[in-house]
Structure 1
Amino acid sequence: MSLTFEERKRTILEQLMKEEKVRVPQLSEQLNVSMETIRRDLDRLEKEGLLKKVYGGAVKTRLNMIEPPFLQRAQMHREEKEALGRCAARLVNDGETIMIDNGTTTVEVIRYLHDRSDVTIVTHSISAMLLAAEMFPGRIFFAGGEVDVKLQSAGGSLTERMLEQFKVHKAFISVGGVSLVDGITDYDVNEASISRKMIERAEEAIVLADHSKLGVTTFAKIADLQEVSMIVTDRNCPAEWIRHLQEKNVEIRLAE
């Protein structure tokens, strides 16, 4: 019995999530339908905004290159970011030193460390540093360098050299996207370089990414999925994402 469009749609989108590209001949053979049927399916899915047709097949549509301004991002998915920050703060043990990179989600971790005088924070984020100075009772190290006013952070070789001086228990990393194929990525190549350095200097690298970041690839690669210890996301994370991350031996934590 031939598959319905909805059944073929599920298979096509599942394969796109895992491989980020599908080809007409392989889908035709896999689903036991004609190549013309597959082309019509891809036309329909493109009109729904679920993929982009290319020669011989289709690719996912979620390749993002432009990041909204910091203040605008701070208001996006606000509840999820607060939940992720609260969940991440619970992962910090007594007496630990942590790194926090520059992101509107990772800065939320600080809000839930307001009573942790035994913890030390290292950050290159101006927003994180200012918030910590206001409400965090522990030690704060600012990894300074050339300041990017737009990004609200320090960066470059001076910042990386300072980070090289530390070895920490955990690094909390913000991302532009999380992809099963491309790993974790960011919009800015300099920010990605700093996040990569923090991962190198930490015993555990913990990525904070709300569900809108899943399946997204942005411009600059930070690391492969296997290089991070855990991904903290929200309850809107699709079940198939949890399954695929577990297949890659990546621990996933769902924030309440």
Structure 2
Amino acid sequence: MLSVKELCSLLKVSHMTVRRDISALESEGEVHSVPGGVRISRSIRIEPTYQDKSTAHLAAKRAMAAHAATMIRSGQTVFLDAGTTVGHVVQHLEGKKDLTLVTNDLTTAVRLSDISGLDVFQIGGHVDVRNRSTVGLFAAGMLGHFNFDLALMSTSSWDSASGVTTPSEAKVGVKQAAMSNSAMNVLVSGSEKYGLIGTFNVAPLDLFDQVITDSSMPSEELAQLSEAGVKIHVTET
């Protein structure tokens, strides 16, 4: 990260000029402004495999999933987006009544089927083998047949300027279809993904009713998001 003061000194320009240029670069997704300075945005061109993600940041993922599960009420229809963090929600559903769970995550669907009393729908479509999920036009089309009370959404990349993004075009329509048919949208994503920017835009952060992240998120980033009106819950591990 570089502070505004450092940039003024390095470039030999005024504070106003630096602020103007930061704003222009941020609108293009090239940098991410933080209180008192700026840092370069990091692009993501390909997601890690499901196997790689399943063993990373486990404590933080479990804590985020536990909080997300408290939002699920009996009688609801809930979308569980593909991803290892949202997948941990399943272990908290035992005993909940009259729930309809819809997911495009193959592993999550299998785990849900082991819990008695749940009505489970697996979304069909093209199988993304790396991420063990269904994506694409057919998957998005099937989601249009549901009305969700709650959609728990995942992402590989997010930040305050670009919102939720993805390196996979085939995931865009699926995520957007779930969100557009949900009364409440919640993003569940770790701090390690913040500041990453994928090739394709999914949704700005103001379309989410809440963002659940972990305690490793820098305080200055949390302050900036709060100032922008984003409702954030930080889980402790």
Q: Does 1:90 align with 2:70?
A: yes
The correspondence for 2:170, drawn from 190, 200, 220, is 190
The reply on whether 1:210 has 2:195 as its aligned counterpart is no
Residue 164 of structure 1 pairs with residue 149 of structure 2: no
Q: Secondary structure at the match of 1:206?
A: strand
Deviation at 1:173, TM superposition (A): 0.7
Query: How far apart are 1:176 and its partner, in Å?
Result: 1.1
Distance in 1, Cα, partners of 2:41 & 2:194: 13
Aligned to 1:149: 129
Question: Judging changes above 3 Å, is the alpha-carbon distance between structure 1 residues 31 and 107 closer, same or farther for their aligned structure 2 residues?
Answer: same
* Residues 160 and 236 (structure 1), Cα distance of their counterparts in 2 relative to 1, 3 Å cut: same
Code of the aligned partner of 1:213: K
Distance 1:251 1:168 in 2: 20
Identity across matched positions, percent: 23
1:173 is matched with 153
Partner residue, 2:86: 106
Mapped partners of 1:26, 1:181: distance in 2: 24
Task: Quote how far apart the aligned CAs of 1:243 are.
Answer: 1.5
Comparing 242-251 with 228-237, which one deviates more in the overlay?
Answer: 242-251
C-alpha contact (below 8 Å) 1:116/1:136 kept by paired residues: no
> Aligned equivalents of 1:160 and 1:217: distance in 2?
22
What corresponds to 2:14 in structure 1? 29
Q: CA deviation at 1:79?
A: 0.7
Residues 97 and 12 from structure 1, CA distance in 2 versus in 1: closer, same or farther, beyond 3 angstroms? farther
1:25 CA drift (Å) = 8.4
Tell me if structure 1 keeps the 8 A contact 2:73–2:96: no
In structure 2, how many angstroms separate the alpha carbons of the residues matched to 1:87 and 1:70? 22
Count of residue correspondences? 218
Which amino acid is the alignment partner of residue 121 of structure 2? F
Amino acid at match of 1:29: S
From 60, 75, 79, the equivalent of 2:40 is: 60
TM-score normalised by structure 2 residue count:
0.83
Contact 2:168 2:200 in 1 (8 A): yes
Structure of greater relative contact order (alpha carbons < 8 Å, 6+ residues apart)? 2
Larger of the two Rg values belongs to structure = 1
- 2:115 is matched with which residue? 135
- Per-residue CA deviation, residues 12-63 of structure 1 (Å, 9 max, x unaligned), is 79xxxxxxxx88888831299xxxxxxxxxxxxxxxxxx8xxxxxx961521
8 Å Cα contact 1:205/1:228 also seen in 2: yes
Give unmatched runs, 5+ long, in structure 2: 18-30, 32-37
> What is the aligned counterpart of 2:219 among 224, 239, 251?
239
Q: CA deviation at 1:157?
A: 2.2
Find the aligned partners of 1:140 and 1:12 in 2 and give their Cα distance: 55
Indicate conservation of the 8 Å contact 1:184/1:223, yes or no.
yes
Task: Indicate conservation of the 8 Å contact 1:82/1:108, yes or no.
Answer: yes
Q: Is the contact made by 2:47 and 2:167 (CA closer than 8 Å) also made in structure 1? A: yes
Instruction: Kindly provide the amino acid, as one letter, of the partner of residue 13 in structure 2.
Output: S
What TM-score does the superposition give when structure 1 sets the normalisation length?
A: 0.77
Amino acid across the alignment from 2:195: G
How well do the aligned residues superpose, as a CA RMSD in angstroms?
A: 2.7
**Closer, same or farther in 2 for the Cα pair 1:233/1:131, shift >3 Å?**
same
Contact 2:212/2:234 (<8 A) preserved: yes
- 2:98 match: 118
Q: Which runs of 5+ in 1 are unaligned?
A: 1-7, 14-21, 33-50, 52-57
Contact map agreement 1:179 1:214 (CA 8 A) in 2? yes
Of 28, 34, 54, which residue of structure 2 is paired with 1:74?
A: 54
SS in structure 2 of the partner of residue 95 of structure 1: coil
CA–CA separation in structure 2 for the residues paired with 1:198 and 1:211: 23
Alignment match, 1:225: 205
